[in-house]
Amino acid sequence: MLRFFPEKNKTFQEEQEYTFDSELPVPNHIAIIMDGNGRWAQNRYLPRVAGHKEGMETVKTITKHASNLGVKVLTLYAFSTENWKRPEEEVDFLMQLPVDFFDTFVPELMKKNVRINVMGEYDTLPASTQDAINRAVEATSNNTGLILNFALNYGSRSEMVHAVKNIASDITENNIEIEQITDEMIGDYLMTSFLPKEIRDPEILIRTSGEERISNFLLWQIAYSELLFTKELWPDYNETSLENSIAIFQHRNRRFGGLKKEENK
């Protein structure tokens, strides 16, 4: 008879086990699903949007700390293509957030040499959101430090559909041949293609709030990422939380389908 012995959740266990070691490598690319804003607000009898406002403050804290730690890319899931289903008032608030964020935070990002990128279905965003993005991207375009990459109106399946269509049209127009299609080339058609190849894929994907789902985020790019689920709600996630997440990564045994050197003997 087959028996299933449920293990205590690995990440939640690991969270108490490791401490961050600044001597060990820090991931180059961290992706985060920032979840739990609504619950954070509801726990305080506040409207859900108060959670998003606080979540925006967490974005600032985590961006600065990631930059201090030497992280090269921070990709944040700020609004998914499915989030349009939320009440109009909440969607409007979420669309206003980038405007407030960029208007108030760009001077600090400049001091930290942070470059902003936004990936997603840009054309359907309100004009005021597009304007704020354009200004922030333009103002930080020559910065050479951390790349703060917002996934805004982003969905991974839709990203792949676009990639497939573009590859098909490049074949039809004789720009490429079918034989040239490789997984690396598919990466060139995705929204992360603006990043140098060696840091396109996140080494860790963190999701806050205790939910253990990927929710249509970077499905291609996380093929070998370490997945970390923490129970903290996004507005509660802080510098120590980030270090704890990195500490777990530092102690994971990444094999990419092979064996570690010592296991090869």
Nearer to ligand FPP, 83 or 156 (CB): 83
Which stretches of the chain are assigned E, i.e. beta strand? 29-33, 73-80, 115-119, 147-154, 204-207, 226-229
Footprint of ligand FPP on 56-75 (CB under 6 A): 56, 59
Number of helical (H) and strand (E) elements in the chain, helices listed first: 8, 6
Q: Residue 72 phi/psi, 5° resolution?
A: -95, -35
If one asks whether residue 78 binds ligand FPP (CB under 6 A), the answer comes out as yes
CA angle 135, 65, 152 (to 5 degrees): 40
Q: Please say if 170 is a catalytic residue.
A: no
- The catalytic residue among 9, 28, 37, 83 is 83
Residues 6+ apart with CB under 8 A from 142: 115
Q: Indicate the Cα dihedral angle 37, 39, 41, 45, nearest 10°.
A: 170
Q: Which residue, among 77, 28, 79, has the nearest Cα to 201 in the 3D structure?
A: 28
Count of residues near ligand FPP by CB under 6 A: 19
Site stretch for ligand FPP (CB under 6 A), options 31-39, 168-176, 180-188, 256-264? 31-39
Whether 83 sits among the annotated catalytic residues: the reply is yes
**Interface mask toward ligand FPP for 169-188; x: CB under 6 A:** --------------------
Q: Does 133 bind ligand FPP (CB under 6 A)?
A: no
The footprint of ligand FPP on residues 192-221 (CB under 6 A) is: 209
97 binds ligand FPP (CB under 6 A): yes
Q: Which of 11-19, 30-38, 166-174, 247-255 is the region at the interface with ligand FPP (rule: CB under 6 A)?
A: 30-38
Torsion angles phi and psi, residue 74, rounded to 5: -125, 110
Residue 171: CB atoms within 10 Å:
14
> Which range, of 36-44, 126-134, 135-143, 256-264, touches ligand FPP by CB under 6 A?
36-44
In the bound complex, which residue of the shown chain has the CB atom lying closest to ligand FPP? 38
| Binding residues for ligand FPP (CB under 6 A) | 34-39, 52, 55-56, 59, 78, 83, 94, 97-98, 101, 150, 209, 234
Active site residues: 35, 83
